Amino acid sequence: MDGALLHQYPFARQIQNLEPSEVHRFLHTRETGLNAHEVSERLTEIGPNMLAERRRLVWLKSLVRQFTNFFTILLEVAAAICFTADHIQPGEGMNVLGWALLGVSVLNAMFSFVQEYRAERAMEELRKFLPQRVRVTRGGEDVEILAEQLVPGDVLAVREGDKIPADARLFEVQDLIVSNAPLTGEAHAVRLQAQAQECILTESVNILFAGCMVKKGRGEAVVFATGARTEFGKVAMLSHEVKRKASPLERETQHMVRVMATIASVTSILFFTISFISGETVWTSLVNMMVILVAMVPEGLLPTMTLSLAMASLHMAKRNVLVKSLNAVEALGAVHVICTDKTGTLTQNLLAVTSLKGALCGDLSNAARKNALAQALVASDVRESELGFSGDPLDVALAEAFQAMRGDVAQVLGSVEKEFSFDDEKRRAAGVAEMGGRRLFCVKGAWESLCPMISHAEDENGHLVVWDTQRIAQAEAQMHAMASLGQRVIALAYREVEGADGEQAAYENNLVLKAFIGAEDPIRAEVPGAVLKCHKAGIRVVMITGDHPETAEAVARRVGIVAVDAAPGACVLTGAELARIGRAQLVKKLQDGISVFARTTPEQKWKIVSAFHDLNQVVAVTGDGVNDAPALKAADVGIAMGQGGTDVAREAAQVILLDDNFASIVHGIEEGRTIFNNIQKFTSYVMVSNAPEIVAVMAYILLPIPLPLMVGQILSIDLGTNIIPSMGLGHEDSQAELMEIPPRTKKQGLVTTELLIESYLFLGLIEAAFAMSLFFYVLYDGGWIWGADLDARDPLYLSATGITLSSIILMQIGNLFGRRSRLGSGLSLDFLRNPWIVGGIVFEVVFSWAILFFPPVANVLGTGPVDTVVYAVAWCGPFLIYGLDYARKRLVVRFGASAA
């Protein structure tokens, strides 16, 4: 076999330049097709016509990765130390602590594993775009084979309804029209021909592209690229190679975990050293280290965060936003830029007649509109069946428009006596039919094609007027006005004829200009409002499309992406221009306000997303076609269409719009901002209770006092009473003002300095001071002397540690209301509509009592009863912390400080 065939793909860049008669020789084949030996040789050398499937993610490897992150390792090491300590000195309960810490690490790891583990099905879904069996000519015989058996040089036959299995060069065409939308994203069907083309491969009209659909006609072609080397396969490979960036929440959570874990590790090691140097045994020093570690690590924070994100994703699903990755819930709220496709996202991905104007008079009456559509149908090639209309998409749109006006399509088509199919060179189609007692020759096509043949035009009254310079200027103004709106403008003309036996050229003179028909992919009604909401929220919307620049700009103006008063072309950059500039220049263009990219390739969409990343922008990309997949995966948030989108796009995306409604993105952004705001609320809530835990343990290590809080008691707060209220804060309703402020910058992290000071050094110290005061009160009231040892089972110690735990839990109720609003009271009665908050408060109240007065709970936690008056005093705690917190808020408001 000719070794050059292995390097066919550089040749493919010139395949479109060949004449039909040269195609077979160039690809080392013949009109009768390849013989069996040639097929076998090429199949062995080049491989089957299929996309190589990526090796599946090994679930065990993924699971191991979850158990080796910093936070989990910290807990695992702590658990190992506990088990070692229990082995050295059994019976002290260290094994229970070890199992508790190990359980927390498993819980966190499993949450992450479940959310991260998602089998990559993109390759499998891409295969569904390719037909299973195809018709080829081999050895002079027409045979049907599996699509994967195709090789370069095969002579392929396609017809209406076929999915194209490989890239192929046409050498014979019969009225062939294809839709390249799955590959290019453009809604308009393309009429193909066999003649040589002087343009790049992807813009050639003599090429069949794998994955696309034949809408009409038939053709024969020679395959020149199969599998991953097709244009379709290149997009697939590009999508597969793109590495998804970590979401803002992932980055901030990882940073928070590293900081907290490092501080906890260093502090616990420091206190182990201090304890050991001061004369304590190794075992006692290990216990001290473990207690300080448990006190400083908010074990329940990450599981609570995951559960809150899961609940938010369910809420978003009710608003037609399906979230595949939980971190994408919050990432939507952090978005600075939405890069949106045009076809199928801003528009409806269908061709429809949206305007019909008279030749000179503008608007037509309903009767005149119906008559014009009937004449246009005479010049159309459309068929009607039980499944609807089929044929050229424009002709189908005309039939649907006529039917919508209660016209009888079958009657008009039945009256056609002769058809003249669309001619690529003439750029028009025609027909002869009996209409209203007259035999008319009706022709529709490009304005430039019909204009020289016109002698008259219809005025506003339907009367014929002479075609002069003034009338030509009027007609051209009408046509340009429609074209400026992004419409595909078709001119319609007619003349009376005596018979239907003549050639087309014989009729094409002395025509009467009837009307201009405007067809377009209609804009979704809700899109302009959604774009406006994005702008109010400080979010930039950019269109990236493969469509014509003028069409793209017209649509962008109508939906509000480009300002109405912007100079024509000032905000538009074409793919050709984009290819000539570097990334730094592109960044400058984006800063200058470019908001429409037209005639782009998948690689260029990826380039645009990367440029926005260079500007430190969080980017969302919307799309529905195969060509959108690489950019969807490269974005911070990939948003695919659920109804009109392809499986490939849905697999590459993190978010799916179930109703294909651009406006749903706004709902998703609002939900994302709300969940981030709520995560900050419950993060602060959890941190506040960490402060008294840390103070209690440090006091025990540094002072000659009993341990105010035991490890099990600390865990009962972190993994017990804090969980339900935290979920309540995570489930708070959105606030209207969140959609009236710009998105946060990347510097505005989840845990800010202000939040740390507020949580640990203000609210946390209030809780610590109040709880420790009750601890010492109970001890001194029971006769304890400073420095005296107390047995862990001494009733006095049980009561003192019990009231410490109970008071912290009660104070968290006041803290809960304070966290509901950054600067407000948080006491609005709408909290009653949040069952998690109500349930959390009830649980905290009951648990604070059970700790002291319900023996089964007290025995497990190592607590004991106190005097009722002391418990009543503990109830002052929630009011104390809430009152001081509210006073702080008033001072912040009064002195004009801004909330983080």
Looking at residue 89, its pLDDT comes to: 65
Q: What is the pLDDT of residue 8?
A: 42
Q: Which residues contact 604 (CB under 8 A, 6 or more apart)?
A: 575, 578, 579, 597
pLDDT > 50? residue 4:
no
- Which of 33, 30, 21, 27 lies closest to 1, judged by CA? 27
Confidence tier at 5 by pLDDT (50, 70, 90): very low
With bands split at pLDDT 50, 70 and 90, how would you rate the model's confidence at 3?
very low
Query: Looking at the predicted structure, is the pLDDT value of residue 571 above 60?
Result: yes
Q: What is the pLDDT of residue 330?
A: 75
Confidence of residue 9 (pLDDT cuts 50, 70, 90): very low
Q: What are phi and psi of 279, to 5 degrees?
A: 110, 0
Q: Alpha-carbon Rg of the chain, whole angstroms?
A: 36
In this prediction, residues 316-322 reach a mean pLDDT of 79
Confidence (pLDDT) at 802: 96
pLDDT band at 127 (very low <50, low <70, confident <90, very high): very low
Is 861 buried (19+), middle (13-18) or exposed (0-12) by CB count in 10 A? buried
Residue 542 near residue 338, CB atoms below 8 Å: yes
The residue-averaged pLDDT of 722-749 equals 82
Strand partners, 464: 458
- Predicted confidence (pLDDT) per residue in 481-493, tens digit: 888 787 888 999 9
Q: Locate all alpha helices (DSSP H) within 334-451, ordered by sequence.
A: 366-378, 393-404, 409-414, 447-450
Query: Position of tokens 């974005």?
Result: 635
Dig out the tokens for 745 from the structure: 């910058």
| Residue 138 pLDDT exceeds 90 | yes
Helix, strand, coil percent values for the chain (each to nearest 5): 55, 15, 30
Q: Which contiguous run of DSSP H or E holds residue 512?
A: strand 511-520
CA 670 to the chain's CA centroid: 14
Beta carbons of 445 and 490 less than 8 angstroms apart:
yes
Please state which of the ranges 142-146, 155-159, 255-259, 830-834 shows the lowest mean pLDDT.
255-259
pLDDT interval class at 647 (50, 70, 90): low
In this structure, the dihedral spanned by the alpha carbons of residues 674, 675, 677 and 680, taken in order and rounded to 10 degrees, is 170
Query: Global pTM?
Result: 0.70
Confidence at residue 575, expressed as pLDDT on a 0 to 100 scale: 87
Q: Which residue has the higher pLDDT, 450 or 92?
A: 450
Specify the DSSP element, H or E, that contains 8.
helix 8-12
Token readout for 649 is 């796009």
Who has greater pLDDT, 460 or 74? 460
What sign for the dihedral angle of Cα 783, 788, 792, 798? positive
Residue 147's alpha-carbon distances to 51, 144, 228, 642, in angstroms, are 12, 9, 14, 28
pLDDT over 90 (residue 843): yes
Using DSSP's 3-state secondary structure scheme, residue 281 falls into: coil
In the DSSP assignment, the letter for residue 216 is: E
Calculate the alpha carbon distances from 598 to 532, 550, 602, 839 in Å: 22, 9, 12, 54
- Torsion, CA 89, CA 95, CA 98, CA 104, rounded to 10: -160
Low-confidence winner among 48-52, 249-253, 711-715 (lowest mean pLDDT): 249-253
Whether the predicted pLDDT of 1 surpasses 50: no
Lowest model confidence (mean pLDDT) among 5-19, 222-236, 546-560, 707-721: 5-19
Q: How many helices (H) and strands (E) does the chain have?
A: 36, 26
Region of residue 169 (phi > 0: left; psi between -120 and 50: alpha; otherwise: beta): beta
What b-and-e string marks burial along 482-515, b requiring 16 or more CB atoms within 10 Å of the CB? bbebbbbbbbbbbbebeebeeebeebbeebbbbb
Average pLDDT, the chain: 83
What was the pLDDT predicted at 92?
57
Give the length of the chain: 900
Instruction: Report the pLDDT value the prediction gives residue 854, as an integer from 0 to 100.
Output: 95
Q: Residue 830 has which token pair?
A: 């709408």
| Dihedral, CA of residue 815, residue 821, residue 825 and residue 827, to nearest 10 | -80
Name which of 52-66, 182-196, 269-283, 609-623 the model is least confident about. Answer: 52-66
Evaluate if residue 250 carries a pLDDT over 80: no
Query: Model confidence over 663-699: pLDDT tens digits?
Result: 788 888 888 888 888 888 988 999 999 899 989 988 9
For residue 847, what are the CA distances in angstroms to 341, 377, 560, 689, 854? 54, 78, 56, 16, 9
- Residue 485 CB-half CA count within 13 A: 17
Q: Give the tens place of pLDDT for each residue, 767-818.
A: 999 999 999 999 999 999 998 988 888 999 999 999 999 999 999 999 999 9
pLDDT 10s digits, 334-357: 899 999 888 777 887 778 898 899
Confidence of residue 77 (pLDDT cuts 50, 70, 90): confident
